[in-house]
A and B are shown apart, each in its own frame.
Chain A
Amino acid sequence: MSGRLTVAQELPWPPAVSDFFPPNIAGPWVTKFGVMVWLAVAILIVFFLVAYRKPTLVPSRTQWVAESVYGLIRDGVARDQMGDTGIKFAPYLTVLFSFIVLTNLFGIVPGLQISPNSHIAFPIVLAAISFVLYIAVGVRKHGFFRYLKMSLILPGVPWPMHFLLVPIEFLQNFINKPVTLAVRLFANMFAGHLILLVFTVGGFVMLSSDNWFVQASSVFAFLMAIIMTFFEALVAILQAYVFVVLTANYLSTSLAEQH
């Protein structure tokens, strides 16, 4: 037995962040993320079309699954947060929820083991769409200046305090909300991906060592990778749900009546 403990052989060590991004497929225009997003959109379109091809009153199985997804979002989220005026936003929220769940679950599907949401660009776009939507809804309902007044000025405050409070309210409403929506989704997916990579690659690194104890304890690394995969599935669905609930909450704040 040699006097050294070799931990890593023939692996890029230490790995840089750029080692974790998937390679381009066809030039810089078609990347693995692009193909995955197209795949998610195609699955959603095909599923919902097939489920509603011949709707019957007593639903068949695919139709029942599609209806329960829509019913979960419409009753549990839209009607709960916004009342009956929220039903017209339920289709957007359902599609948002299904798309985020699918792209998050791509993080644990073998072969495609990364979620597009672990790249900051995709959650930025989703949060930007929700942000523009709730501002547009508020402006269309109340008019531009009354909407600003409603969201920035708090009633029952002596008016010199408003110079203090308006920048805080502006930052909180118009910058904090979309940024935290995007960053929450991105950070959860990125951290989950990194944890899975640490345990899996660490397991392989430990397995290729030349010390039998280190090789034997790589079993624990692989076991933790399996446990974290199940945890990752839970986090995927939970983060999609939180995104949709917060979007509905911001929409309800925009639609609220005057004080």
Chain B
Amino acid sequence: MADDQHQPDSDKPSEGVAGTVVGYLIAGIVGWGVIGWLVERWLGLPKGMGIATGMIIGAGGAIYLIMKRLGA
């Protein structure tokens, strides 16, 4: 997977890396938080559990994606 178009993070961490990390984290947490909230409304779980589970799963997925894309 040697696409050399991702020049900013070639040999040193630069600002593109920070933007990517925070972007993936916010997308994961907010996205899966919303999905967890919808599941909670649909299944009638105790209040707040759906959002919390969704956000933790989303953060885990976001960190997995960050390591896949930016890790060595």
CB atoms of B62 and A168 under 8 A apart: yes
- C-alpha spacing A170/B31, complex, angstroms: 9
Q: Which of A8-16, A23-31, A155-163 contacts B (4 or more CB under 8 A)?
A: A155-163
List B residues 1-49 near A (Cβ within 8 Å).
Answer: 1, 3, 5-8, 16, 19, 23-24, 26-28, 30-32, 35
Do A167 and B32 touch across chains, with their CB atoms under 8 A apart?
A: yes
Expressed in whole angstroms, the minimum distance between the Cβ of A253 and any Cβ of chain B is: 6
CB distance from A258 to the nearest CB of B (A): 9
CB distance A80 to B7 under 8 Å?
yes
Question: What's the Cα separation between A249 and B7 when bound, in Å?
Answer: 9
Bound-state CA distance A256–B3 (Å) is 7
Binary flags per residue of A136-161, CB closer than 8 Å to B gives 1, else 0: 00000000000000000011110001
A176 at the interface (CB under 8 A from B): yes
Q: Please give me the residue from chain A that is nearest to B15 by CB atom.
A: A242
Q: Is the CB of A172 within 8 A of B24?
A: yes
Query: With A and B bound together, what is the CA distance between A62 and B38 in angstroms?
Result: 60
Check A165 against B65 for contact (C-beta < 8 Å).
yes
The answer to whether A104 has its CB under 8 Å from any CB of chain B is: no
Given contacts A168-B28, A168-B58, A171-B30, contact A81 B5 (CB under 8 A): yes
Task: Determine the residue in chain B with the shortest Cβ distance to A172.
Answer: B27
Interface residues of chain B: helix, strand, loop or mixed (majority)? helix
B residues contacting the other copy or chain, number (CB 8 A): 26
Q: Check A157/B68 contact, CB under 8 A, given A81-B5, A259-B3.
A: yes
C-alpha spacing A171/B27, complex, angstroms: 6
Tell whether A167 pairs with B69 under 8 Å between CB atoms, given A81-B5, A257-B3: no
Bound Cα distance A192, B57 (Å): 38
Whose C-beta in chain A lies nearest to the C-beta of B1? A259
Inter-subunit contact A252/B5 (CB<8 Å): yes
User: Which residues of chain A have C-beta atoms less than 8 A from B65's C-beta?
Assistant: 154, 165, 168-169
| CA of A62 to CA of B65, assembled, Å | 49
Task: Judge if A46 is at the interface, Cβ distance under 8 Å.
Answer: no
Identity of the chain B residue whose Cβ is nearest the Cβ of A171 in the assembled complex: B27
Query: In angstroms, how far is the closest chain B Cβ from the Cβ of A192?
Result: 20
| Interface set of A (CB-CB < 8 Å, partner B) | 80-83, 154-157, 161, 164-165, 167-172, 175-176, 180, 249, 252-253, 255-257, 259
Other contacts beyond A82-B5, A167-B31: 19, CB < 8 A: A81-B5, A155-B1, A156-B68, A161-B61, A164-B32, A164-B60, A165-B65, A168-B27, A168-B31, A168-B65, A169-B65, A170-B31, A171-B28, A176-B23, A253-B5, A253-B6, A255-B5, A259-B1, A259-B3
Pull 12 A–B residue pairs with CB atoms less than 8 Å apart, ordered by A.
Answer: A161-B61, A164-B57, A167-B32, A168-B24, A168-B28, A168-B62, A171-B27, A171-B30, A172-B27, A175-B27, A253-B5, A256-B3
